[in-house]
Amino acid sequence: GAGVSQSPRYKVAKRGQDVALRCDPISGHVSLFWYQQALGQGPEFLTYFQNEAQLDKSGLPSDRFFAERPEGSVSTLKIQRTQQEDSAVYLCASSLADRVTGELFFGEGSRLTVL
Amino acid sequence: LAKTTQPISMDSYEGQEVNITCSHNNIATNDYITWYQQFPSQGPRFIIQGYKTKVTNEVASLFIPADRKSSTLSLPRVSLSDTAVYYCLVGDIRAQGFQKLVFGTGTRLLVSP
């Protein structure tokens, strides 16, 4: 596809379950980002990849959150032992350049609801 | 990254020009100003970016005064489909840390018939 694709669009998990969210960036985009957006708030940075290297993971809220991009294209955000406070929209974005120049291309997000 | 302040919400009517002002008193010399738009259930979309004076594209104009302590996003003749949240971001786009885009809470624009 032409844009950033995320799946699933909606995920309901019981507290304590593990979830995995997938991101297919735009083909050829070097940089990939994950953001978390709580209801009524702006997106907040979680982590950043340049190709397969995770260069910044300072925004991950706890060690239950893990992201990978093993072949420098598709990325997976994994949340272990989900908690209710993990309920949010998880946005993936990609950029052609090896650093941000201002224009990130975002996917539609994966809405996670933890019961 | 410089802190920004925007109005929480704005109301307008179809066909009007809308100006959303963002304050960034602590903007640094190398900082650029970038605006994103977000519709419900979608990710943010880049609108426009500038450093000084005026930038115009097919969607909007960005006005930046000489002191660069504020900027104004101008949307000409808005339509109902311009109802969205608009985010102002300020930072050095060439700095390695800029990937941590700080969106804030944005300005919710509601366009009515």
Say yes or no to pLDDT of B99 above 70.
no
Residues 80-109 (A) with a CB less than 8 A from some CB of B: 91-93, 99-109
Q: What are the chain A neighbours of B85 within 8 Å (beta carbons)? A: 42
The angle formed by the CA atoms of residues A95, B61 and B40, to the nearest 5 degrees, is: 60
**Residue range A7-50, pLDDT digits in tens:** 999 999 999 999 999 999 999 998 899 999 999 899 999 999 98
- Range scoring the smallest mean pLDDT among A40-49, A104-113, B34-43, B99-108: B99-108
Using the predicted structure, report yes or no on whether residue A101 has a pLDDT greater than 80.
Answer: no
Q: Is residue A36 within 8 Å of residue A49, measured between CB atoms?
A: no
pLDDT at A98: 62
Rounded CA gap, A38 and A16, in Å? 20
Return the pLDDT at A100. 53
Residues 52-81 on A with a CB inside 8 Å of B are 55-56, 58-59
Nearest to B43 among A40, A103, A106 (CB): A106
Nearest by CB to B43, from A48, A102, A108: name it: A108
Judging contacts by C-beta atoms under 8 Å, the chain B residues touching residue A109 are 41-43
Confidence of residue B58 (pLDDT cuts 50, 70, 90): very high
Average pLDDT score, chain A? 93
Count how many Cα atoms sit within 13 Å of the Cα of residue B7 in the half-sphere of its side chain: 13
How many residues can be counted in chain B? Answer: 113
Terminal Cα distance for chain B, rounded: 38
Q: Where are the beta strands (DSSP E) in B1-113?
A: 9-13, 18-23, 32-38, 45-50, 53-56, 61-64, 70-75, 84-91, 107-112
